[in-house]
Structure 1
Amino acid sequence: MRDTTLEDSVFVRTLGQGGRKVLALHCTIAHSGAWSALASVLDGEATLRAPDMPSHGRSPNWDGRGDLFDLVTKLTAAQLTEPMDLIGHSFGGMIALRLAVEFPQLVRSAALIEPVFFAIAAQDTPELVRRHHDEAKPVSDAFASGDMEKAARLFNRMWGAQDGPRWPDLPERTRAGMVRGIHVVPAVDDALFKDTKGILNTGVLGRATMPVLILSGSESHPIMPAIGYGLARRLPHAETGVVSGAGHMLPITHPQQTAAVIQSFWGRSS
């Protein structure tokens, strides 16, 4: 009953007006409004259905019970009411990937923007995973000490400050939203780093037979293109793309360029 109640109360934003139906999945400590600029570029071509994850945006808080990756996957799958194109960013890209392998009949194509599937890098480029762990240690230490505001500030600096405003320059409401959602990060670490959901098991990625685009920013942490190339090699029909000059937050900071790559991909995969 608890999951059903949460499912009924998930906030879903509709952006743009166009014939192509798209399910857009935001990154951790953001919200569905993060797709506004990209949707504006795609308006007239696509309609984006963008849910807020639990503990994000206008959706209710996650109560900390159960498996969060499973819960978000279930809640997001409820939005796949017809065959749709997927766009997912960061952890949202991981949800999109899981939907592609679990519900391939409902996914026409998937654009995965810097999916944080660190387990691929652990297999292909373990030295980059060690570097990432070293660089993320201040964030991990903040979690260990229970300082959620510090964890959010450092996590934002690691993944978003290159392209966007620094923590003191963010509106208080934005900072509060990031602190609210930051607890989901350690809750999904095992799924992302150790592949506890078995996505890399033999035959699983082969279910995703639709066209897949894996998109990175040219200025992102080098672990991101390593993940992208590794994932593309493991999928049946995947290609990679790069947005020049962008970091991890490319759909927000470079919406025109990101949209252009996705539109070209849609044109080739239609």
Structure 2
Amino acid sequence: MTHAQTFGRGNKQALAIHCTLAHSGAWRGVGDALHDQLTLTAFDLPGHGKSPDWDYKTDLHELCRDAALAYLPGPRDLIGHSFGATVALRLAVEHPDLVRSLTLIEPVFFAAVIADAPERMAAHDLETAPITSALVAEDHARAAQLFNRFWGDGTKWDAMSAATRRYLTERMTIVPGQSAMIFEDNAGLMAPGKLARAKMPCLLIEGAMSPDIIDAIHSSLVHRLPNAVRATIAGAGHMSPLTHPNEVASLILRLIEVAEE
């Protein structure tokens, strides 16, 4: 069983899924901002936080999906960030009866761009080539530093504690294990009509300062999800749940209110 914690005491129940290299505590700011409106359950993805390690044999995305299902005994408002948002998206497609509303914060579902805008995917691959090269060379400390520079909240590598740098470095081996779903779409979400199964109200949140690939992903998804809209947070980058929790919380609450109408 994965480790989980709960934020808030509102009557509405929600489940939040964090990004790669983070843990459930990444939702504390959003949870505090929604304290009276929402009871937010957040769990540590396999290999993260206090949850058991990934065995590097089981399909990682399936493992994460199944871990999330354990916290969905009935319909919930579902929130995901980055890789966690790809898990949330899959749940909404495969188990739409369990998802009242769907908040996707910059889902790194690159398969959508590969299908709809391959030239933008090629540009992203070129931009992130140093990360890929470091992973291939098994220079995990360098890969973690570059990954944080591209996807992080702006905190400089040298400004992080040794424990944080070690935590990030040790988990870089998880990143290649995500590729089968987020690049190759082994879950088949891009099959004709598949994403249309997620008919619940959906919000795609992005930071105004985020990489171009996020706009490309959202542009693809907003046309494939039947009830999706986009929102941009000024001044934010990829890590808006950490850097702009109040703005993220406000958008989540607005979506939940729409779902209740």
TM-score range, shorter chain: over 0.9
Structure 1 residue corresponding to 2:5, chosen from 13, 29, 32: 13
1-side partners of 2:229 and 2:168: how far apart?
32
Instruction: Tell me the SS of whatever aligns to 1:44.
Output: coil
Match of 1:22 among 10, 14, 23: 14
Q: Distance in 1 between matches of 2:219 and 2:9?
A: 33
1:236 aligns with 2:226: yes
How far has the Cα of 1:203 moved from its partner?
A: 2.4
Q: For residues 259 and 234 of structure 2, what CA distance do their matches in structure 1 show? A: 22
Match of 1:159 in 2: 151
Deviations for 1:127-146, whole angstroms, at most 9, x for unmatched residues?
A: 22111111111111111111
The alignment's TM-score, normalised by the length of structure 1, stands at 0.93
Which whole-Å CA distance do the structure 2 matches of 1:75 and 1:258 have between them?
Answer: 24
Q: Distance in 2 between matches of 1:159 and 1:85?
A: 26
Which contiguous aligned blocks of 4+ residues in structure 1 show a shift greater than 2 angstroms?
Answer: none
- Structure 1 portions without partners, runs of 5+: 1-7
Cα distance per residue 1:150-198 (max 9 Å; x no partner): 11111111111xx431111112222222122221211111311221211
- Per-residue CA deviations over 1:11-41 (Å, capped at 9, x if unaligned) read 0111111111110000000110000011110
CA distance in 2, matches of 1:62, 1:196: 18
2:179 equivalent to 1:189: yes
Residues 101 and 255, structure 2, Cα contact 8 Å, conserved in 1? no
1:260 corresponds in structure 2 to: 250
> RMSD of the alignment, in Å?
1.1
* 1:183 aligned counterpart, secondary structure: helix
Conserved? CA contact 1:27–1:89, under 8 Å: yes
The aligned counterpart of 2:71 is 79
SS in 2 for 1:81: coil
Shift of 1:74: 1.0
The one of 81, 94, 103 equivalent to 1:111 is 103
Amino acid in the other structure paired with 1:48:
L
Amino acid at match of 2:142: K
Give the structure 1 partner of residue 162 of structure 2.
172
Contact map agreement 1:16 1:48 (CA 8 A) in 2? yes
Aligned to 1:189, what secondary structure does the other structure show?
A: helix
State the alpha-carbon separation in 1 of the partners of residues 203 and 232 from structure 2. 10
| CA distance, structure 1, for counterparts of residue 147 and residue 130 of structure 2 | 9
CA distance in 1: counterparts of 2:73 and 2:144, whole angstroms = 34
Secondary structure, aligned partner of 2:42: strand
Structure 1 CA distance for aligned equivalents of residues 163 and 133 of structure 2: 25
Q: Which residue of 2 aligns with 1:215?
A: 205
- Corresponding position of 2:130: 138
1:14 and 1:180 map into 2 onto residues whose CA distance is: 26
Match of residue 224, structure 1, among 214, 224, 246: 214
Secondary structure at 1:49 match in 2: strand
For normalisation by structure 2, the TM-score amounts to: 0.96
CA contact (8 A) 1:190 1:196 kept: yes
Number of equivalences: 260
Aligned pair partner of 2:35 in 43, 46, 57: 43
Q: Distance in 2 between matches of 1:269 and 1:97?
A: 17
Give me the identity figure in percent.
44
* Distance (Å, rounded) in 1 between the aligned partners of 2:215 and 2:126: 19
Is 1:249 the counterpart of 2:239? The answer is yes
Distance in 1, Cα, partners of 2:257 & 2:154: 30
Distance, in Å, in 2 between the alignment partners of 1:123 and 1:203 is 14
Q: 2:59 corresponds to which letter in structure 1?
A: D
Aligned counterparts of 1:232 and 1:20: Cα–Cα separation in 2: 26
Task: Give the gaps of 5 or more residues in structure 2.
Answer: none
* Paired residue type of 1:208: A
- Residue 86 of structure 2 is aligned with which of 65, 80, 94? 94
Corresponding residue number in structure 2 for 1:5:
none
Which residue, 52, 60, 73 being the options, matches 2:52?
Answer: 60
Q: 1:106-132 CA deviation, whole Å, 9 max, x = no partner?
A: 110110000011111112222221111
